[in-house]
Amino acid sequence: MTAEIVVLPSKRAVADALADRTATALRAALAEKNRVTLCLTGGSTPVPAYQRLATAEGVDWARVHVFWGDERCVPPDHGESNFGMAAHALLVPAGVPETNVHKMPGACPPKEGAAVYEQALEQFFGDDLWFDVLHLGMGDDGHTASLFPGTPALGVTDRRVTTGTAPPSATVRDRLTLTLPTLGRAGLCLIAAAGAGKREAFADVLDAYDGETEAQAEPPPIARVEGTLIWLVDRDLATGLTEDDEEE
């Protein structure tokens, strides 16, 4: 695993960087092959990023297939649907063909939905699942996708998709989520995180990367994602935690 940390001046700058780096990676991938894959995330930070990405020049959306890292178990028109957010911010404005949109079936019962999406990934990728670009976020508890600390989903390694359970404070607790091995199957993983409220979780991530996690403690879920990772974080989050900050 390699992890690069890019510190940006604001949450909006994080969103802009997420969009611009994604567009650059998609253009490069499209120059090499006929179809490329993009796996989206939820949360608030990606909204302006996806709005900006929808207008990026040189991205042939007719050849981009879109997937999701997780979804709340709600209908697609629900206000907390990750698909719904992406549809309004990115898919419709960019004109992504419906045949290229592989949304998680959030309206299904969780176990059924996980099985349906597992089958969808099998039909599309076969044995060679690989996302050209994968987006992730981080919660203030260090979770990513719907892999929450201390939950069974973290231990699922023999499936591509599983069910997740959010903490009691969440409005929608039942989730569908890609598993850790699946999240590790990406050419480029962009992790966008912002805000001082996530600083403690980010400190735990950095400790895990440095091998300083206490023996009795589990590293945050986001720190367990493998691959080529680029963290896009704002200064509010990174203050006091990073040195030699690279700014864009």
pTM listed for this prediction: 0.95
For Cα atoms 155, 161, 166, give the angle at the middle one, nearest 5 degrees. 65
For every one of its 248 residues, what pLDDT tens digit does the chain have, with 9 covering 90 and above?
Answer: 789 999 999 999 999 999 999 999 999 999 999 999 999 999 888 999 999 999 999 999 999 999 999 999 999 999 999 999 999 999 999 999 999 999 999 999 999 999 999 999 999 999 999 999 999 999 999 999 999 999 999 999 999 999 999 999 999 999 999 999 999 999 999 999 999 999 999 999 999 998 876 655 789 999 999 999 999 999 999 998 876 444 55
Owner of token pair 């949109």: 101
In words, the CATH class of domain 6-173+192-238 is alpha beta
Domain boundaries, the chain: 6-173+192-238
